[in-house]
Amino acid sequence: MSSAHNSLQMRLVGLFRDMGLRPDDVVPSEAMLASRLAASRQAIRESLRALEALGVVDAHQGARRRLRGFDPSTFGRQLGLTTLPTLENLQELLEIRRILESAFLPAAIVALDASTLAEMRALTDAMHEAAHRGQPFLDEDESFHALMYKRLGNVTLSGMLGAFWQFFKTASQEITTGENLQHTAAMHASIVDALESSDADLAVHRLDAHFFDVRDRLRRQHSDERRPLTSSAS
């Protein structure tokens, strides 16, 4: 989409804000928006559709559009769905995720409670059981990381983490079930050990070690970093 369309989308969002629209309010008609922004109705319609795709505007057949507001989790998943599934892109997104998770982990430790830690421990037990059977544990892995930050209530962080998982699930049609599964499960268990002891430095160190391990496995398993991904657990 051209920069002109992107600019019009930003102007629309600004107009909604200036008009005091709140989530679930009806969006003004295309004709009114075109008049207010001195744009064609076709351009307004295309920009509204783009905002619908991002989850900012909701539209149902036979009904007026309504404002949903900006949901970072929706944006994150859109990123995950639309980014080209190459090893290079996954490595870049993995590094962003590592930095985000490591930065937020000290605050997450303070917010964690015994119930959440018990859930995380149960997930590592499930990982070990799956690894013993030679089966991947992608869903448990995603739930583990989501639980670690859930009590922070940061929807933007959740959205960015969701983007990684959506991207990974889209890119990975086949998951390697090789020798790294037991090691990966053990690394998650070691993170829980550090969380239970409230040792922030140790927890960040073990989390970073986990991400560096994933990065190295991706590099080893894929000699051509631009081809579509078909393997590796995270």
The ranges assigned to domains in the chain are 3-67, 73-221
- Among 49-53, 61-65, 77-81, 129-133, the minimum mean pLDDT is found in 77-81
Other CB atoms within a 10 A radius of the CB of residue 132 amount to 11
Helices and strands in the chain: count of H runs, count of E runs: 10, 2
- Please give the Cα distance from 165 to 142 (Å, whole number): 7
Higher pLDDT, 7 or 178: 7
Residue 178 reports pLDDT greater than 50 = no
Q: What is the reported pLDDT for 85?
A: 65
3-67: CATH number: 1.10.10.10
The 10s digit of each residue's pLDDT in 114-166 is 999 999 999 999 999 999 998 989 899 999 999 999 999 998 888 888 878 87
The 10s digit of each residue's pLDDT in 20-32 is 998 889 999 999 9
- Among 15-24, 25-34, 77-86, the minimum mean pLDDT is found in 77-86
Residue 206 reports pLDDT greater than 90 = yes
Average pLDDT, the chain: 83
For residues 65 and 48, is the Cβ–Cβ distance under 8 A?
yes
pLDDT bucket at 176, cuts 50 / 70 / 90: very low
Using DSSP, state whether 143 is helix, strand or coil: helix
Runs of H (alpha helix) within 85-179: 87-111, 114-132, 138-150, 155-171
| Residue in 21, 22, 44 with CA at minimum distance from that of residue 33 | 44
Residue 181 reports pLDDT greater than 60 = yes
The DSSP element (H or E) to which 204 belongs, if any, is helix 200-221
- Among 51-60, 101-110, 195-204, the minimum mean pLDDT is found in 51-60
The architecture (CATH level 2) of 73-221 comes to: Up-down Bundle (1.20)
Q: What is the reported pLDDT for 74?
A: 63
